[in-house]
Amino acid sequence: MRAESLAFLRRLLETPGPSGYEAPTARVWRAYAAQHAAEVRTDMSGNTIARLNADATGPRVLIAGHIDQIGLLITHINGDGTLAFRAIGGWDDQILTGQRIQIIAKDGPVFGVIGRVPKHMIKGEAKYQAASIESLFIDIGADDAATTAARVRPGDPAVVEQPVLMLTEDRIAARGLDNRAGAFVAIETLRLLKEGDAPYADVYAVATVAEEIGGDFRGARTVTTALQPTIAFALDLTFATDRPGGDVQEFGEHKLGSGPAIARGGMTNPPLAELLIATAIAENIPYTIEPLPRSTGTDADGIAVAGTGTAVAVVSFPNRYMHSPNEVCSLADLEASARLLAATIRAITPTTDFTPR
Protein backbone atom coordinates (compact mmCIF):
# COMPACT_ATOMS: atom_id res chain seq x y z
CA MET A 1 0.00 0.00 0.00
CA ARG A 2 1.30 3.44 -0.85
CA ALA A 3 2.62 5.34 2.16
CA GLU A 4 0.10 8.21 1.99
CA SER A 5 -2.87 5.84 1.89
CA LEU A 6 -1.58 3.78 4.83
CA ALA A 7 -0.94 6.94 6.88
CA PHE A 8 -4.53 8.03 6.20
CA LEU A 9 -5.90 4.64 7.23
CA ARG A 10 -3.92 4.78 10.47
CA ARG A 11 -5.30 8.26 11.25
CA LEU A 12 -8.84 6.97 10.72
CA LEU A 13 -8.23 4.03 13.05
CA GLU A 14 -6.54 6.11 15.72
CA THR A 15 -9.36 8.69 15.91
CA PRO A 16 -12.27 7.71 18.20
CA GLY A 17 -15.75 7.95 16.69
CA PRO A 18 -18.44 5.55 17.95
CA SER A 19 -21.99 5.66 16.59
CA GLY A 20 -23.59 9.02 17.29
CA TYR A 21 -20.20 10.68 17.87
CA GLU A 22 -18.50 10.26 14.48
CA ALA A 23 -17.51 13.91 13.90
CA PRO A 24 -13.79 13.64 14.85
CA THR A 25 -13.23 10.73 12.48
CA ALA A 26 -15.34 12.38 9.78
CA ARG A 27 -13.05 15.41 9.95
CA VAL A 28 -10.06 13.19 9.17
CA TRP A 29 -11.93 11.59 6.26
CA ARG A 30 -13.11 14.98 4.98
CA ALA A 31 -9.60 16.44 4.90
CA TYR A 32 -8.32 13.50 2.83
CA ALA A 33 -11.37 13.52 0.56
CA ALA A 34 -10.82 17.20 -0.25
CA GLN A 35 -7.62 16.20 -2.08
CA HIS A 36 -9.45 13.83 -4.42
CA ALA A 37 -12.96 15.22 -4.89
CA ALA A 38 -14.51 18.21 -6.61
CA GLU A 39 -16.95 18.78 -3.76
CA VAL A 40 -17.01 17.66 -0.11
CA ARG A 41 -19.83 18.39 2.33
CA THR A 42 -21.46 17.09 5.50
CA ASP A 43 -25.22 16.64 5.90
CA MET A 44 -27.41 17.04 8.98
CA SER A 45 -27.14 13.34 9.83
CA GLY A 46 -23.35 13.59 9.95
CA ASN A 47 -22.64 11.79 6.68
CA THR A 48 -19.66 13.16 4.76
CA ILE A 49 -20.22 13.25 0.99
CA ALA A 50 -17.43 13.56 -1.59
CA ARG A 51 -18.40 14.05 -5.25
CA LEU A 52 -15.85 13.08 -7.88
CA ASN A 53 -16.88 15.37 -10.73
CA ALA A 54 -19.27 18.27 -10.34
CA ASP A 55 -19.99 18.27 -14.11
CA ALA A 56 -20.87 14.58 -14.45
CA THR A 57 -24.21 13.83 -16.10
CA GLY A 58 -24.34 10.01 -15.96
CA PRO A 59 -26.25 7.89 -13.43
CA ARG A 60 -25.49 8.60 -9.80
CA VAL A 61 -23.31 6.02 -8.08
CA LEU A 62 -23.03 5.89 -4.30
CA ILE A 63 -20.02 4.23 -2.61
CA ALA A 64 -20.90 3.96 1.08
CA GLY A 65 -18.60 2.92 3.92
CA HIS A 66 -19.79 3.57 7.46
CA ILE A 67 -17.31 5.49 9.58
CA ASP A 68 -18.73 4.76 13.03
CA GLN A 69 -17.35 2.08 15.34
CA ILE A 70 -18.68 0.17 18.31
CA GLY A 71 -18.03 1.83 21.65
CA LEU A 72 -19.42 2.54 25.10
CA LEU A 73 -21.66 5.21 26.60
CA ILE A 74 -21.37 6.52 30.16
CA THR A 75 -24.76 6.12 31.86
CA HIS A 76 -24.15 6.96 35.55
CA ILE A 77 -21.55 8.24 37.99
CA ASN A 78 -21.42 5.96 41.02
CA GLY A 79 -20.86 7.21 44.55
CA ASP A 80 -17.36 5.71 44.70
CA GLY A 81 -16.28 7.64 41.58
CA THR A 82 -16.58 4.71 39.18
CA LEU A 83 -18.71 4.90 36.07
CA ALA A 84 -21.54 2.69 34.85
CA PHE A 85 -21.75 2.24 31.10
CA ARG A 86 -23.60 0.42 28.36
CA ALA A 87 -22.66 -0.72 24.86
CA ILE A 88 -22.83 1.27 21.66
CA GLY A 89 -23.23 -1.52 19.12
CA GLY A 90 -22.63 -5.22 19.53
CA TRP A 91 -19.99 -6.13 22.11
CA ASP A 92 -19.13 -9.52 23.54
CA ASP A 93 -19.20 -8.56 27.22
CA GLN A 94 -16.44 -11.09 28.03
CA ILE A 95 -13.93 -9.04 26.06
CA LEU A 96 -14.33 -5.88 28.13
CA THR A 97 -12.95 -6.81 31.56
CA GLY A 98 -9.54 -5.20 32.09
CA GLN A 99 -9.56 -3.13 28.90
CA ARG A 100 -8.11 0.36 28.89
CA ILE A 101 -10.69 2.98 27.90
CA GLN A 102 -10.60 6.45 26.37
CA ILE A 103 -13.62 8.56 27.29
CA ILE A 104 -14.32 11.38 24.84
CA ALA A 105 -15.17 14.10 27.36
CA LYS A 106 -15.97 17.78 26.88
CA ASP A 107 -12.55 19.03 28.03
CA GLY A 108 -10.51 16.31 26.33
CA PRO A 109 -9.88 12.58 26.63
CA VAL A 110 -10.18 10.88 30.00
CA PHE A 111 -8.54 7.48 30.43
CA GLY A 112 -9.64 4.63 32.61
CA VAL A 113 -9.82 0.87 32.97
CA ILE A 114 -12.80 -1.47 33.00
CA GLY A 115 -13.04 -3.22 36.35
CA ARG A 116 -14.94 -6.17 37.76
CA VAL A 117 -15.02 -7.88 41.16
CA PRO A 118 -12.05 -10.33 41.09
CA LYS A 119 -13.00 -13.96 40.63
CA HIS A 120 -11.40 -14.78 44.01
CA MET A 121 -13.98 -12.55 45.76
CA ILE A 122 -17.08 -13.89 43.97
CA LYS A 123 -19.06 -16.38 46.01
CA GLY A 124 -20.71 -19.65 45.04
CA GLU A 125 -21.83 -20.52 41.54
CA ALA A 126 -21.57 -16.86 40.47
CA LYS A 127 -17.80 -17.40 40.33
CA TYR A 128 -18.27 -19.53 37.22
CA GLN A 129 -20.78 -17.33 35.42
CA ALA A 130 -19.86 -15.15 32.48
CA ALA A 131 -19.41 -11.44 33.06
CA SER A 132 -22.20 -9.12 31.92
CA ILE A 133 -21.81 -5.46 31.09
CA GLU A 134 -24.07 -4.65 34.04
CA SER A 135 -21.44 -6.09 36.41
CA LEU A 136 -18.60 -3.97 35.00
CA PHE A 137 -17.54 -0.41 35.73
CA ILE A 138 -14.95 2.11 34.57
CA ASP A 139 -12.30 3.34 37.03
CA ILE A 140 -10.67 6.68 36.12
CA GLY A 141 -8.65 6.86 39.33
CA ALA A 142 -11.16 8.99 41.28
CA ASP A 143 -12.41 8.10 44.77
CA ASP A 144 -15.74 9.96 44.84
CA ALA A 145 -18.56 11.04 42.55
CA ALA A 146 -17.71 14.76 42.70
CA THR A 147 -14.17 14.23 41.43
CA THR A 148 -15.43 12.10 38.55
CA ALA A 149 -18.28 14.51 37.71
CA ALA A 150 -15.76 17.32 37.23
CA ARG A 151 -14.27 15.37 34.32
CA VAL A 152 -16.97 13.10 32.87
CA ARG A 153 -20.70 13.45 32.18
CA PRO A 154 -23.39 10.86 31.50
CA GLY A 155 -23.75 10.61 27.74
CA ASP A 156 -20.02 10.83 27.10
CA PRO A 157 -18.90 8.12 24.65
CA ALA A 158 -15.84 5.94 25.04
CA VAL A 159 -13.73 3.51 23.02
CA VAL A 160 -11.26 0.81 23.94
CA GLU A 161 -7.79 2.36 24.03
CA GLN A 162 -5.77 0.20 21.65
CA PRO A 163 -2.97 1.29 19.29
CA VAL A 164 -2.76 0.22 15.65
CA LEU A 165 -0.43 -2.75 15.23
CA MET A 166 1.16 -3.96 12.00
CA LEU A 167 1.51 -7.73 12.41
CA THR A 168 3.26 -7.99 9.03
CA GLU A 169 3.66 -5.62 6.09
CA ASP A 170 0.18 -6.72 4.97
CA ARG A 171 -1.74 -7.63 8.15
CA ILE A 172 -3.06 -4.82 10.31
CA ALA A 173 -4.64 -5.18 13.76
CA ALA A 174 -6.76 -2.39 15.23
CA ARG A 175 -10.00 -1.41 16.88
CA GLY A 176 -12.59 -0.06 14.47
CA LEU A 177 -11.48 -1.73 11.26
CA ASP A 178 -15.23 -2.38 11.21
CA ASN A 179 -15.76 -0.18 9.36
CA ARG A 180 -13.02 2.39 8.94
CA ALA A 181 -11.80 -0.08 6.29
CA GLY A 182 -14.98 0.53 4.28
CA ALA A 183 -14.80 4.31 4.63
CA PHE A 184 -11.15 4.07 3.56
CA VAL A 185 -11.91 1.97 0.47
CA ALA A 186 -14.73 4.34 -0.53
CA ILE A 187 -12.46 7.37 -0.79
CA GLU A 188 -9.55 5.34 -2.21
CA THR A 189 -11.90 4.29 -5.02
CA LEU A 190 -12.62 7.96 -5.70
CA ARG A 191 -8.88 8.65 -5.76
CA LEU A 192 -8.29 5.90 -8.35
CA LEU A 193 -11.14 7.24 -10.49
CA LYS A 194 -9.70 10.76 -10.35
CA GLU A 195 -6.26 9.57 -11.44
CA GLY A 196 -7.59 8.08 -14.71
CA ASP A 197 -10.13 9.09 -17.33
CA ALA A 198 -13.34 10.45 -15.85
CA PRO A 199 -16.05 7.79 -15.66
CA TYR A 200 -19.43 8.27 -17.31
CA ALA A 201 -21.17 7.93 -13.94
CA ASP A 202 -21.66 10.71 -11.39
CA VAL A 203 -19.80 9.21 -8.43
CA TYR A 204 -20.20 9.98 -4.73
CA ALA A 205 -18.09 8.45 -1.96
CA VAL A 206 -19.82 8.72 1.41
CA ALA A 207 -18.63 8.08 4.96
CA THR A 208 -21.95 7.13 6.55
CA VAL A 209 -22.90 7.26 10.23
CA ALA A 210 -24.86 5.15 12.71
CA GLU A 211 -24.54 1.74 11.05
CA GLU A 212 -23.40 -0.09 14.19
CA ILE A 213 -26.56 0.72 16.11
CA GLY A 214 -28.64 -0.94 13.39
CA GLY A 215 -32.35 -0.30 13.17
CA ASP A 216 -33.06 1.77 10.09
CA PHE A 217 -29.41 2.41 9.09
CA ARG A 218 -30.05 6.13 9.47
CA GLY A 219 -26.94 7.46 7.77
CA ALA A 220 -27.20 5.31 4.67
CA ARG A 221 -30.93 5.82 4.37
CA THR A 222 -30.88 9.60 4.65
CA VAL A 223 -28.03 10.09 2.18
CA THR A 224 -29.67 7.71 -0.31
CA THR A 225 -32.95 9.62 -0.02
CA ALA A 226 -31.09 12.88 -0.68
CA LEU A 227 -28.90 11.71 -3.59
CA GLN A 228 -31.32 9.24 -5.20
CA PRO A 229 -28.52 7.14 -6.74
CA THR A 230 -29.21 4.60 -9.46
CA ILE A 231 -26.43 2.31 -8.25
CA ALA A 232 -24.87 1.86 -4.82
CA PHE A 233 -22.03 -0.13 -3.31
CA ALA A 234 -22.20 -0.79 0.42
CA LEU A 235 -18.71 -1.53 1.75
CA ASP A 236 -18.19 -3.43 4.99
CA LEU A 237 -16.31 -6.27 6.63
CA THR A 238 -17.23 -9.92 6.53
CA PHE A 239 -16.22 -12.82 8.76
CA ALA A 240 -12.90 -14.37 7.84
CA THR A 241 -13.39 -18.14 7.95
CA ASP A 242 -9.71 -19.09 8.02
CA ARG A 243 -9.50 -19.50 11.79
CA PRO A 244 -11.10 -22.03 14.19
CA GLY A 245 -14.87 -21.67 14.29
CA GLY A 246 -15.15 -20.18 10.82
CA ASP A 247 -18.28 -21.72 9.30
CA VAL A 248 -17.68 -21.93 5.55
CA GLN A 249 -21.02 -23.64 4.98
CA GLU A 250 -22.88 -20.60 6.29
CA PHE A 251 -20.58 -17.70 5.43
CA GLY A 252 -18.47 -18.97 2.53
CA GLU A 253 -14.69 -19.25 2.25
CA HIS A 254 -13.07 -15.91 3.02
CA LYS A 255 -9.39 -15.91 3.86
CA LEU A 256 -7.24 -12.90 4.54
CA GLY A 257 -5.64 -12.15 1.20
CA SER A 258 -8.45 -13.71 -0.87
CA GLY A 259 -9.66 -10.32 -2.09
CA PRO A 260 -13.06 -8.64 -1.87
CA ALA A 261 -16.15 -10.69 -1.07
CA ILE A 262 -18.99 -10.02 -3.51
CA ALA A 263 -22.44 -10.62 -2.04
CA ARG A 264 -25.15 -12.56 -3.82
CA GLY A 265 -28.74 -12.89 -2.64
CA GLY A 266 -31.04 -11.04 -0.28
CA MET A 267 -31.11 -7.28 -0.76
CA THR A 268 -28.50 -7.21 -3.53
CA ASN A 269 -29.08 -6.52 -7.23
CA PRO A 270 -28.21 -9.57 -9.40
CA PRO A 271 -27.03 -7.69 -12.53
CA LEU A 272 -24.75 -5.46 -10.43
CA ALA A 273 -23.26 -8.48 -8.64
CA GLU A 274 -22.61 -10.11 -12.03
CA LEU A 275 -20.88 -6.95 -13.28
CA LEU A 276 -18.59 -7.00 -10.22
CA ILE A 277 -17.74 -10.67 -10.83
CA ALA A 278 -17.11 -10.14 -14.56
CA THR A 279 -14.91 -7.13 -13.81
CA ALA A 280 -12.89 -9.04 -11.19
CA ILE A 281 -12.23 -11.80 -13.74
CA ALA A 282 -11.34 -9.33 -16.50
CA GLU A 283 -9.00 -7.36 -14.24
CA ASN A 284 -7.46 -10.50 -12.65
CA ILE A 285 -8.55 -9.37 -9.18
CA PRO A 286 -9.04 -12.20 -6.64
CA TYR A 287 -12.51 -12.38 -5.11
CA THR A 288 -14.86 -14.65 -3.18
CA ILE A 289 -18.65 -14.95 -3.07
CA GLU A 290 -20.56 -14.09 0.10
CA PRO A 291 -24.01 -15.74 0.19
CA LEU A 292 -26.59 -13.50 1.88
CA PRO A 293 -30.03 -15.13 1.74
CA ARG A 294 -31.83 -12.49 3.83
CA SER A 295 -30.90 -8.98 4.93
CA THR A 296 -27.22 -8.09 4.73
CA GLY A 297 -26.70 -6.46 8.14
CA THR A 298 -24.96 -3.60 6.33
CA ASP A 299 -25.82 -0.15 4.99
CA ALA A 300 -27.23 -1.94 1.93
CA ASP A 301 -30.37 -2.71 3.95
CA GLY A 302 -31.05 1.00 4.37
CA ILE A 303 -30.00 1.95 0.84
CA ALA A 304 -32.17 -0.67 -0.88
CA VAL A 305 -35.43 0.59 0.63
CA ALA A 306 -34.79 4.35 0.52
CA GLY A 307 -36.47 6.50 -2.08
CA THR A 308 -37.73 4.78 -5.24
CA GLY A 309 -35.18 1.97 -5.15
CA THR A 310 -31.48 1.56 -5.91
CA ALA A 311 -29.47 -1.26 -7.47
CA VAL A 312 -27.25 -2.14 -4.52
CA ALA A 313 -24.23 -4.40 -4.14
CA VAL A 314 -22.27 -5.38 -1.04
CA VAL A 315 -18.49 -5.60 -1.27
CA SER A 316 -16.79 -6.79 1.90
CA PHE A 317 -13.30 -7.49 3.20
CA PRO A 318 -12.38 -10.53 5.34
CA ASN A 319 -11.92 -9.62 9.00
CA ARG A 320 -10.73 -11.76 11.89
CA TYR A 321 -12.02 -11.21 15.45
CA MET A 322 -15.00 -9.01 14.46
CA HIS A 323 -16.19 -6.52 17.11
CA SER A 324 -13.13 -6.89 19.28
CA PRO A 325 -10.36 -4.44 20.24
CA ASN A 326 -8.02 -6.21 17.79
CA GLU A 327 -9.68 -6.87 14.46
CA VAL A 328 -7.29 -8.09 11.76
CA CYS A 329 -7.45 -7.37 8.02
CA SER A 330 -5.23 -7.61 4.95
CA LEU A 331 -4.12 -4.35 3.32
CA ALA A 332 -3.97 -6.18 -0.02
CA ASP A 333 -7.70 -6.97 0.28
CA LEU A 334 -8.49 -3.28 0.77
CA GLU A 335 -6.37 -2.29 -2.23
CA ALA A 336 -7.94 -5.00 -4.41
CA SER A 337 -11.42 -3.85 -3.39
CA ALA A 338 -10.74 -0.25 -4.39
CA ARG A 339 -9.37 -1.42 -7.76
CA LEU A 340 -12.42 -3.63 -8.33
CA LEU A 341 -14.85 -0.84 -7.52
CA ALA A 342 -13.06 1.69 -9.72
CA ALA A 343 -12.95 -0.74 -12.66
CA THR A 344 -16.63 -1.68 -12.20
CA ILE A 345 -17.71 1.96 -12.13
CA ARG A 346 -15.68 2.62 -15.29
CA ALA A 347 -17.55 -0.25 -16.95
CA ILE A 348 -20.90 1.56 -16.54
CA THR A 349 -21.99 3.05 -19.87
CA PRO A 350 -25.18 4.77 -21.15
CA THR A 351 -26.55 1.35 -22.14
CA THR A 352 -25.84 -0.47 -18.85
CA ASP A 353 -29.09 -1.72 -17.34
CA PHE A 354 -29.43 -3.03 -13.78
CA THR A 355 -33.10 -3.88 -13.96
CA PRO A 356 -33.55 -7.57 -13.03
CA ARG A 357 -35.31 -9.25 -16.00
Catalytic residues: 211
Q: How far apart are CA 84 and CA 148, in angstroms?
A: 12
Counting every residue written for the chain, the total comes to: 357
End-to-end CA distance of the chain: 40
Q: At what angle do helices 23-33 and 3-14 cross, to 10 degrees?
A: 160
Task: Give the three-class secondary structure for 31.
Answer: helix
- Assess contact for 75 and 229: CB atoms under 8 A: no
Query: How far is residue 144's CA from residue 292's CA, in Å, rounded to a whole number?
Result: 50
What backbone phi and psi angles, to 5 degrees, belong to 45?
A: -75, -20
Q: Where are the alpha helices (DSSP H) in the chain?
A: 3-14, 23-33, 145-149, 177-195, 218-227, 248-251, 270-282, 300-303, 331-346
